[in-house]
Amino acid sequence: MAASQSAKMDIDEQKIDEGLYSRQLYVLGHEAMKRMASSNVLIVGMQGLGVEIAKDLCLAGVKSVTIYDPDLVQLQDLNSQFFLRATDVGKSRADATQPRLAELNAYVPVHVLPGTTGQQVTIDQIKDFQVVVLTNTPLSIQLHINEWTHANGVHFIAAETRGLFGSVFNDFGSRFTCVDPTGEQPLNGMIAEIDKGEKAIVTCLDETRHGLEDGDFVTFSEVEGMTELNGCEPLKVTVKGPYTFEIGDTSKFGDYKRGGIFTQVKMPKIIDFKPLSESLKDPELFITDFGKWDRPSTLHAGFQALSQYQEKHGKLPRPRNAQDAAELLSITKSLAGETELNEKVIEELAFQAQGDLAAVNAVIGGFVAQEVLKAVSAKFHPMVQHMYFDSLESLPDQLPSEADVAPLGSRYDGQIAVFGKTFQEKIANHHWAMMGVGVGSKGHLHVTDLDTIEKSNLNRQFLFRPKDLGHFKSEVAVHAVTEMNPDLQGHTNAYKESVGPNTESKYNSAFFDSIDGVTNALDNVEARLYMDQRCVLYQKPLLESGTLGTKGNTQVVIPHLTESYGSSRDPPEKEAPSCTIKNFPNAIQHTIQWAREQFNNAFVNPATNVNGYLSEPGFLENAMKYSSNQKPLLEQLNRFLVTEKPLTFDECIVWARMQFEKDYNTDIRQLLYSLPKDAVNDNGIPFWSPPKRAPDPLTFDTSNTAHLDYIVAAAHLHAFNYGLHGTNDLDHIAKVASSIKVPEFVPKTNVKVQINDNDPPPANEDNDEEDLTKLSASLPAPSSLAGFRLVPVEFEKDDDTNHHIDFITAASNLRAMNYGIEPADRHKTKQIAGKIIPAIATTTALVTGLVCLELYKVIDGKKDLEKYKNGFVNLALPFFGFSDPIAAPKKKLGESSWTLWDRFEFRGDPTLAEMVDWFKKNHNLDVNMVSQGVVMLWSPFVGKVKTQERMKLPISKLVELIGKKPIAPGTTHLVVETLLCDEEGEDVDVPYSLVYI
346: closest CA among 367, 363, 330, 323?
Answer: 330
User: Is the per-residue pLDDT at 323 higher than 70?
Assistant: yes
Residue that finishes a domain, picked among 772, 802, 820: 820
* Ramachandran class of 808: left when φ > 0, alpha when ψ lies in -120 to 50, beta otherwise: alpha
* Residue that finishes a domain, picked among 404, 425, 446: 425
Q: Which domain holds residue 75?
A: 25-178+277-292+356-425
Does 741 lie in the same domain as 596?
yes
Of the two residues 384 and 760, the one the predictor is more confident about is: 384
Q: At 937, phi and psi to the nearest 5?
A: -80, -35
Nearest to 696 by CA among 519, 819, 590: 819
- What CA–CA distance (Å, rounded) separates 793 from 870? 42
CA dihedral 358, 360, 363, 366 (to 10 degrees): -50
Collapsed DSSP state (helix, strand, coil) of residue 857: helix
Burial of residue 451 (number of CB atoms within 10 Å: 0-12, 13-18, 19+):
middle
- C-alpha to C-alpha distance for 994 and 997, rounded to whole angstroms: 10
Q: Are residues 902 and 787 in the same domain?
A: no
Contact call for residues 434 and 446 (beta carbons, < 8 A): yes
Alpha-carbon dihedral 330, 331, 334, 338, rounded to 10 degrees: -70
Name the pLDDT band for 3 (thresholds 50, 70, 90): very low
Assigned domain for 420 exists: yes
Nearest CA to 414 out of 422, 423, 405 is that of: 405
The distance of Cα 896 from the centroid of its chain, to the nearest Å, equals 41
The 3-state secondary structure of 676-696 reads CCCCECCCCCECCCCCCCCCC
Residues in the chain: 997
What are the residues whose beta carbons fall under 8 Å from the beta carbon of 978, sequence distance 6 or more? 915, 919, 927, 929, 930, 990, 992, 993
Residue 561 lies in a domain: no
Cα 786 → chain centroid: 46
* Number of other CB atoms surrounding residue 158 within 10 Å: 25
For residue 415, give the nearest of 444, 439, 445, 389 by alpha carbon.
Answer: 439
The dihedral built from the CA positions of residue 186, 187, 192 and 193, taken in this order, carries a sign that is: negative
pLDDT above 70 covers what percent of the chain? 97
pLDDT at position 628 is 67
E strand or H helix at 537, and its extent?
helix 525-538
Q: 123-151, pLDDT tens digit by residue? A: 999 999 999 999 999 999 999 999 999 99
State how far the Cα of 625 lies from the Cα of 467, in Å rounded to an integer: 52
At residue 835, the 3 state secondary structure works out as coil
Whether the per-residue pLDDT at 766 is higher than 90: the answer is no
Q: Do 767 and 791 share a structural domain?
A: yes
CA distances from 525 to 461, 512, 529, 546 (A): 22, 21, 6, 10
Whether 192 and 174 map to the same domain: the answer is no
* Helical segments of 378-490, H only: 413-419, 421-428, 473-484
Are residues 97 and 233 located together in one domain of the fold? no
Distance CA 701, CA 809 (A): 18
Element (H, E) at 979: strand 973-981
Would residue 442 count as lying in a domain?
Answer: no
Per DSSP, 154 falls in state -
CATH of the domain at 613: 1.10.10.2660
Structure confidence at residue 623 (pLDDT): 76
Report the pLDDT value the prediction gives residue 436, as an integer from 0 to 100: 46
- pLDDT average, residue stretch 264-293: 97
Positions of E strands within 789-934 = 870-874, 879-883, 891-893, 896-898, 904-906, 926-932
Please indicate, yes or no, whether residues 153 and 193 belong to a single structural domain of this protein: no
Q: Which residues pair with 542 in a beta bridge?
A: 518, 557
Summarised one tens digit per residue, pLDDT across range 704-714 is 999 999 999 99
pLDDT tens profile 607-642: 999 999 999 988 888 877 766 678 889 999 999 999
- Residue 790 included in any domain: yes
> What is the mean predicted confidence (pLDDT) over 980-988?
94
Q: Provide the CATH number for the domain around residue 971.
A: 3.10.290.60
Whether residue 206 is found in the same domain as residue 164: no
Q: What confidence tier does 6 reach under pLDDT thresholds 50, 70, 90?
A: very low
The per-residue pLDDT for range 100-119, each reduced to its tens digit, is 999 999 999 999 999 999 99
Which of 156, 155, 55 minimizes the C-alpha distance to 108? Answer: 55
pLDDT above 80 (res 7): no
In contact, 617 and 782? CB cutoff 8 Å: no
Q: Are 397 and 860 in contact (CB under 8 A)?
A: yes
Average pLDDT of the residues in 521-537: 94
Kindly report the number of other CB atoms within 10 A of residue 894's CB atom. 11
The residue ranking higher by pLDDT, 435 or 773, is 773
Residue 87 lies in a domain: yes
DSSP 8-state assignment for residue 751: -
374-396 confidence digits (pLDDT tens): 999 999 999 999 999 999 999 99
- What region does 203 belong to: left with phi over 0, alpha with psi -120 to 50, or beta? beta
Residue 99 clears pLDDT 80, i.e. is over it = yes
Indicate the angle between helix axes 322-336 and 295-313, nearest 10 degrees. 120
* Long-range contacts, 627-631 (Cβ 8 Å, 24+): 628/764, 629/764, 630/767, 630/772, 631/764, 631/765, 631/767, 631/771, 631/772, 631/775
HSE, side-chain direction, 13 A CA sphere, residue 273 = 28
- Residue 617's Cβ-side half-sphere holds a number of Cα atoms within 13 Å equal to 0
Q: What are phi and psi of 240, to 5 degrees?
A: -110, -20
The CA distance from 821 to 813, in Å, is 8
67 touches 94 (CB < 8 A):
yes
Collect all residues with Cβ–Cβ distance below 8 Å to 266 and sequence separation of at least 6. Answer: 179, 180, 181, 186
What gap in Å lies between CA 756 and CA 581, rounded to an integer?
A: 11
User: Does residue 170 belong to any structural domain of this protein?
Assistant: yes
Residue 234 is part of a domain; what is its CATH number? 2.40.30.180
Residues 239 and 286 occupy one common structural domain = no
The verdict on residue 13 lying in a domain is: no
Instruction: Read off the amino acid at residue 847.
Output: V
The question of whether 579 is a catalytic residue gets the answer yes
% of the chain surpassing 90 pLDDT:
89
**pLDDT tops 80 at residue 733:** yes
Helix residue spans in 213-294 (DSSP H): 276-281
Which segments within 524-587 are labelled E, that is strand?
542-548, 551-557
DSSP string, 471-532: SBHHHHHHHHHHHH-GGGTTSEEEE-S--SGGGTTTS-HHHHHT-SEEEE--SSHHHHHHHH
What's the pLDDT score for residue 13?
44
Q: Point out the domain boundary residue: 265, 300, 320.
A: 265
Query: Residue 11 pLDDT more than 90?
Result: no
| Alpha carbons 711 and 989: distance in angstroms, whole number | 60
Q: Where are the beta strands (DSSP E) in 172-233?
A: 176-178, 188-194, 200-204, 217-221
Q: Band of the pLDDT at 207, cuts 50, 70, 90? A: confident
Per-residue pLDDT, averaged over 643-662, amounts to 97
Q: Using one digit for the tens of pLDDT, what is the confidence trace for 166-187?
A: 999 999 999 999 999 999 999 9
Q: How many domains does the chain have?
A: 4
Q: Is the pLDDT of residue 8 over 60?
A: no
Strand 987-988 to 973-981 pairing: antiparallel
CB 193 within 8 A of CB 203: yes
Residues 141 and 287 in one domain: yes
For the chain, report the end-to-end CA distance as a whole number of angstroms. 73
Q: Strand, coil or helix: what is 167?
A: strand
Average confidence (pLDDT) over 673-693? 92
Q: Of the candidates 491, 480, 495, which has an alpha carbon nearest to the alpha carbon of residue 449? A: 495
665 close to 747: Cβ distance less than 8 angstroms: no
Q: Given this model, what pLDDT does residue 146 score?
A: 98
Catalytic residue, chosen from 58, 204, 579, 981, is: 579
Angle at 89 between CA 464 and CA 417, to 5 degrees: 90
Quick one: which of 79, 806, 915, 662 has its CA closest to 419?
A: 79
Please indicate, yes or no, whether residues 673 and 749 belong to a single structural domain of this protein.
Answer: yes
- 202 and 119 in a single domain? The answer is no
Burial 453-486 (b: 16+ CB within 10 A, else e): bebbbbbbbbbbeeebeeebbbbbbbebbbebbe
State residue 994's pLDDT score: 97
Flag whether pLDDT at 438 surpasses 80: no
Q: Which of 95-104, 486-495, 802-811 has the lowest mean pLDDT?
A: 486-495
Residue 341 has a CB neighbour count (10 Å cut-off) of 18
Q: What is the mean pLDDT of the chain?
A: 94
Sign of CA dihedral 471, 477, 479, 483: positive
Residue 197 lies in a domain: yes
Element (H, E) at 147: helix 139-151
797 with 925, same domain: the answer is no
Query: CB neighbours of 127 closer than 8 A, spacing ≥ 6?
Result: 1, 152
